Amino acid sequence: MEREYYSIPEVAAMLGISRIAVFKKVKNGKLAALRFGRNWAVSAEVVRGLGSAVSRPVLPPPVKGFVAAEASAPTIDNEMDSMGWD
């Protein structure tokens, strides 16, 4: 039998984000959840409705103007060579 509800930490693990981020989504109305006393629960239907977001990690958008470290920074070996290390 499938579960009816998931806890906030469980949903966070499924989405690959922090518990706090899930709480913020609940507070902002982006994620429907029920409160049981001190605890929050997200319906299994809502989790299933997230679809592909659950099956793949959520990556932040790329930073504008960011240059990858490989392209701009010298390698460690080149740095050591330039310092005279053997």
User: Residue 65 corresponds to which tokens in the numbers above?
Assistant: 């103007």
Domain extent listing, the chain? 1-56
pLDDT band with cut points at 50, 70 and 90 for residue 55: very low
Average pLDDT, the chain: 76
Taken as a whole, the chain contains a residue count of 86
**Residues 47 and 41: beta-carbon distance below 8 Å:** no
- The predicted model scores a pTM of 0.56
Nearest to 13 by CA among 35, 37, 45, 42: 42
For the chain, give the percent of residues with pLDDT over 90.
37
Tell me which H or E stretch contains 5: strand 5-7
Q: Assign a CATH topology to domain 1-56.
A: Multidrug-efflux Transporter Regulator; Chain: A; Domain 2 (1.10.1660)
pLDDT of residue 75: 54
pLDDT of residue 27: 92
Q: pLDDT at residue 43 above 80?
A: yes
